Amino acid sequence: MLHIAPRLNRIKPSPSSMAGQRARELRATGRDILSLTAGEPDFETPAHVKEAAIRAMSAGQTRYTDVGGTPALKAAIAGKFLGENQLAYASNEIIVGTGAKQVIFNALMCTVAAGDEVIVPAPYWVSYPDIALLAGGVPVCVDCPAAMGFKLQPEDLERAITGRTRWLMLNSPNNPSGATYTRAELQALAEVLRRHPHVWILTDDIYEHLIYGDAGFATMAQVAPDLKDRTLTVNGVSKAYAMTGWRIGYGAGPSALIKAMVKLQSQSTSGPNSIAQAAAVAALTGPQDSIATNRREYAQRRDTMVAALNAIEGIHCAVPDGAFYAFASCSALFGLRTQQGVAIETSDDWVMHLLDAQNLAALQGSAYGVPTHFRLSFAAGTDELLEGCRRIARARDELTGQAINQEQL
Ligand code: PLP
């Protein structure tokens, strides 16, 4: 009999991967499924990056590399941090992993012991609580209400910190809300963190280059240099350069932490893919124009989608400052019933109704710690986005009865 280790029972499969799989399965049965669940750019990896990979293969760069990443990629990452974030990191303060996700996984596995607490502001990226749980830790989710722009407030951070707190997870721009912290907001959180020197900060900056308008990007180690010696700054090429499948992410922080993470990596993956690392060097050091081109396209899609969503009675969507997700409220619909008499009571019910009644795949906000909302990706063509919104309007029109919160309609 197969024996599954208890640690696996602590976690659930990634809801976004599951939703993608469900959409593919339903499509295979002949249903006209439109999926707005993608957590990845729909653009192509830039040609010069692909060519660098081909050159690396032809030149025989097909063997194991240094566990923590090639010297060339670490130099490119150091250059990126210095040039874009005014952060100086030496080679032994940088690790390359198989995606930012593995870097985050390494960090928590190396530092979180049974019962240690990890503060996760909600809405959160689905993997933070599960990685904390897998490490034996306790995710401490802190609500960041829509009224506060989905951002962690200093007094809520102060309240959440205990003697067992190991990490604060920060993600700006945020998946799923797009919330983007200003320098002043990070400063205010830094003030709290200064009072608690045992708390480390993991900043997940993977959407750094996907900020619209004038918000500007800031990261904790840059804004509060005195906290740099307890901050792990995580980033990667997946979202900025449309390279999700290449699986290259990186982290920079104190050398003792990086050394531990490299040790763990040496006994797990042995290091990231050699060819993808060569491609990542080209991405970080080559022409950067695709970033601005893609960003302009995302900004237009964002405006189109948010306007179309807000035109639907009962759906409310704030304009996200960054990333490529619309995180809309559906709580005004709670209490209404489908044609089959099923009551819509949570975002899970609403998302299920969208799929059943209109063949639209979206993600329930409960996966992100906010059951009043649902997430739609705008990493898709404008036609698809508008069709998605038409389906949402039709799904909403099918509902009848009395909403619980009449005033929200
Ligand atoms: N962090 C956040 C907030 C994400 O949304 C994602 C992917 O969806 C990742 C990290 C993972 O990035 P990578 O592809 O580099 O593992």
Q: Is the CB of 285 under 6 A from ligand 1?
A: no
Q: How many Cα neighbours within 13 Å face the side chain of 406?
A: 2
* pLDDT in the model for residue 408: 61
Determine the average pLDDT of the residues in 60-73: 98
**What residue spans in the chain does CATH classification 3.40.640.10 cover?**
47-285
Whether 179 shows a pLDDT value over 60: the answer reads: yes
Distances from the Cα of 228 to the Cαs of 192, 200, 254, 285, 327, in angstroms?
15, 10, 8, 25, 31
Determine the average pLDDT of the residues in 368-385: 96
Q: Is the CB of 177 under 6 A from ligand 1?
A: no
Nearest atom (ligand 1) to Cα of 171 = 3
Determine the average pLDDT of the residues in 80-109: 98
**Answer CATH for 47-285 from 3.40.120.10, 1.20.120.530, 3.40.640.10, 3.30.450.20:** 3.40.640.10
**What residue spans in the chain does CATH classification 3.90.1150.10 cover?**
6-44+290-404
Nearest atom (ligand 1) to Cα of 103 = 16
Q: Is the CB of 277 under 6 A from ligand 1?
A: no
Whether 364 shows a pLDDT value over 60: the answer reads: yes
Task: Name residue 252's beta-bridge partners.
Answer: 94, 233
Cα(174) to ligand 1 centroid in Å equals 10
CATH topology for 6-44+290-404?
Aspartate Aminotransferase, domain 1 (3.90.1150)
Q: Please, are residues 338 and 353 in contact by the beta-carbon 8 Å criterion?
A: yes
If you ran DSSP here, which 8-state letter would residue 269 be given? T
Distance of CA 157 to the CA centre of its chain: 20
CA separation for the pair 130, 374 (Å, rounded): 20
The candidate with the shortest Cα–Cα distance to 146, out of 371, 312, 299, is 371
CA separation for the pair 54, 369 (Å, rounded): 42
Supply 87's token pair. Answer: 């952060």
Sheet holding 200-204, edge to edge: 94-97, 249-252, 231-236, 200-204, 165-171, 117-122, 138-143
Pocket test residue of 150, 170, 206, 375 for ligand 1, highest count of atoms within 8 A of CB: 206
pLDDT band at 409 (very low <50, low <70, confident <90, very high): low
Cα(401) to ligand 1 centroid in Å equals 40
Determine the average pLDDT of the residues in 99-127: 97
If you ran DSSP here, which 8-state letter would residue 244 be given? G
Residue nearest to atom 5 of ligand 1 (CA): 175
Whether 406 shows a pLDDT value over 90: the answer reads: no
Compute the mean pLDDT over every residue in the chain, rounded to the nearest whole number.
95
Summarised one tens digit per residue, pLDDT across range 226-282 is 999 999 999 999 999 999 999 999 999 999 999 999 999 999 999 999 999 999 999
Whether 64 shows a pLDDT value over 90: the answer reads: yes
Summarised one tens digit per residue, pLDDT across range 187-218 is 999 999 999 999 999 999 999 999 998 878 99
Q: Is the CB of 371 under 6 A from ligand 1?
A: no
Cα(100) to ligand 1 centroid in Å equals 6
Nearest atom (ligand 1) to Cα of 102 = 16
CA separation for the pair 295, 211 (Å, rounded): 8
Cα(239) to ligand 1 centroid in Å equals 8
Q: Is the CB of 45 under 6 A from ligand 1?
A: no
Pocket test residue of 73, 169, 181, 239 for ligand 1, highest count of atoms within 8 A of CB: 239
